Amino acid sequence: MTIRKPARLLLVDDDPGLLKLLGMRLVSEGYSVVTAESGPEALRVLGREKVDLVISDLRMDEMDGLQLFSEIQKGQPGMPVIILTAHGSIPDAVAATQQGVFSFLTKPVDKDALYKAIDEALEQRSPATDEAWRQAIVTRSPLMLRLLEQAGMVAQSDVSVLINGQSGTGKEIVAQAIHNASPRHDKPFVAINCGALPEQLLESELFGHARGAFTGAVSNREGLFQAAEGGTLFLDEIGDMPVALQVKLLRVLQERKVRPLGSNRDIEINVRIISATHRDLPKAMARGEFREDLFYRLNVVNLKIPPLSERTEDIPLLANHLLRQSADRHKPFVRAFSSDAMKRLMAAKWPGNVRQLVNVIEQCVALTSSPVIGDALVEQALEGENTALPTFVEARNQFELNYLRKLLQITRGNVTHAARMAGRNRTEFYKLLSRHELDANDFKE
């Protein structure tokens, strides 16, 4: 006899005889089983009991299987659902799986096919569908589930964590989840984007300042290290932090003390540091743009978030979850994507990752007058995203690149002249050129 993974299954069917028969078969396989004879009853069961997997009939009077799946996803978006039907068809199966249903099986169900589907669903289920610390992360991707398992383990210690990932992958959400799972969860979680502020303002935000430290500093002000006392400070886009500030940050991490700008007094701090970047920090270190000693202080544990293009199995789950959130806020009558619309979402490249998906769905909800969002509207939203504004950091980096190219063209590759025009010394100017991988010799005639 095959040894099954311990799990609690919820069976839903409005035929009591079939419900009892399937329940007995699954109990004999070693599963714990709870049953419900309607969709509303199943939702009540889920509200009071821990369940690992739902197996539901498709055709039921009060609420069909897909409607039940939709309601389950509102409260437990990581819950795997298997749909069974005696009236199966290829369009039904495609529609179900595109909406995020884990598996669609036709009655009479082949027992081996059912056990295989259950085993696979349990293998890929979220490791903590009932744990609040990671409820904001909707996934069934094996890559993401492994990352969440690591995040849950690292949360129990105070080691520094560096999260790598493209823009829009959800680095701050993962950082927040680590904080939520940690012993510091009842203390502040404070986040700052290190690439979005000028150097002096970033320094003041992080470390605070004393009255008179600079023009406009009319009173003492605590920094974010103090604001996060006892909790977690999340340093987003740490790779964009100026080198001079990296030195001061390193000192804080080493001594666990912070000195506000303009003050001669050190303040002891108790803060856990999580940082994140979309940049390749080892390459930045080689160019002299990121300190090696700081890198090793921050990168005790490294977590890499996969881009959305590598977790396409999450697109139906995410799309439907985001649709429900947006529709609940703006247009409650909007219920679903058409089959063709979901196909288009699945086929898109998503260079902007989950952030881009959020924008597309918000636009679709804003422009639809139908309960079902069609393919044409998704196509329009995706085309609109291609002309959307970049983030502040992306826009600034593009401006710097264009500006440096223009300077080198005007000065014909004369670095001294170009640095003078830019108001920078030669060393700083060479660092800018290195950061943007520009060679002055390419502009000489």
Condensed to tens digits (0 to 9), the pLDDT of residues 317-339 reads 899 889 988 998 999 898 888 88
Instruction: Decide yes or no: CATH 3.40.50.2300 for domain 8-124.
Output: yes
pLDDT at 131: 65
For 114-150, the pLDDT digits (tens) are: 999 998 888 766 544 446 788 788 888 889 989 999 9
The mean pLDDT of 46-55, rounded to a whole number, is 91
Residue 304 pLDDT level (bands cut at 50, 70, 90): very high
Q: Specify the pairing of strand 372-373 against strand 53-57.
A: unpaired
For 254-265, the pLDDT digits (tens) are: 999 999 888 888
Residue 399 pLDDT level (bands cut at 50, 70, 90): confident
The mean pLDDT of 296-320, rounded to a whole number, is 93
Instruction: Check whether 293 has a pLDDT greater than 90.
Output: yes
Q: Which has the closest alpha carbon to 54: 151, 125, 146?
A: 125
pLDDT at 384: 78
pLDDT at 1: 45
HSE, side-chain direction, 13 A CA sphere, residue 329: 9
Helix (H) or strand (E) holding 190: strand 189-193
Residue partners of 14: CB distance under 8 A and separation at least 6: 37, 38, 57, 60, 61, 62
Asked whether 120 and 267 are in contact (CB, 8 A), the reply is no
User: Distance between CA 322 and CA 317 in Å, rounded?
Assistant: 9
Residue partners of 383: CB distance under 8 A and separation at least 6: none
In order of 108, 166, 355, 385, 392, the CA distances from 351 in angstroms are: 43, 9, 10, 10, 16
HSE, side-chain direction, 13 A CA sphere, residue 435: 22
For 20-39, the pLDDT digits (tens) are: 999 999 998 889 999 999 99
Asked whether 244 and 236 are in contact (CB, 8 A), the reply is no
Percent of the chain residues topping a pLDDT of 70: 91
Give residue limits of the domains in the chain.
8-124, 133-304, 308-386, 392-443
CATH fold, domain 133-304, is Rossmann fold (3.40.50)
In order of 49, 70, 81, the CA distances from 78 in angstroms are: 16, 12, 9
pTM for the model stands at 0.70
- Beta strands, E only, 266-380: 267-268, 272-277, 301-304, 336-337, 372-373
The secondary structure of 81-124, three-state, reads EEEEECCCCHHHHHHHHHCCCCEEEECCCCHHHHHHHHHHHHHH
pLDDT at 3: 55
Instruction: Check whether 232 has a pLDDT greater than 60.
Output: yes
CATH fold, domain 308-386, is Helicase, Ruva Protein; domain 3 (1.10.8)
Q: Specify the pairing of strand 336-337 against strand 8-12.
A: unpaired
Residue 2 pLDDT level (bands cut at 50, 70, 90): low
Worst-scoring range by mean pLDDT, 76-80, 90-94, 152-156, 375-379? 90-94
Decide whether 8-124 matches 133-304 in CATH topology: yes
Instruction: Check whether 389 has a pLDDT greater than 80.
Output: no
pLDDT at 132: 74
pLDDT at 366: 93
